[in-house]
Amino acid sequence: MPKLKTNKSAAKRFWRTGGKKIKRSRAFKKHILTKKNRGRKRGLRKGTYVHPTQERTITRIIGY
């Protein structure tokens, strides 16, 4: 069976944890930050996990 090709754009956005879960960064943190309050921006710093319904799809595109 041929090797899987990694989707490079997905590989930069998602990473696998030690417990085999997939982590991602939160959205809405890149620009237009002046209207967002301090607490909201602080919460956006933290990563979160991919929803279980999306894990299979993400696993396929990030490859090994």
Task: Give pLDDT tens digits for 37-53.
Answer: 999 999 999 999 999 99
Which residue's structure tokens are 């799809």? 57
What is the rounded (10 degree) CA torsion for 7, 10, 55, 50?
A: 180
Confidence category of residue 63, pLDDT binned at 50, 70, 90 = confident
Q: Which fold has domain 8-62?
A: Factor Xa Inhibitor (4.10.410)
| Of residues 16, 37, 38, 40, the one with CA closest to residue 26 | 40
* Angle ∠(56,30,40) on CA atoms, nearest 5: 90
Distance, CA of 51 to CA of 64 (rounded, Å): 19
Kind and range of the H or E run holding 56: helix 52-62
pTM: 0.79
What mean pLDDT comes out for the span 20-24? 95
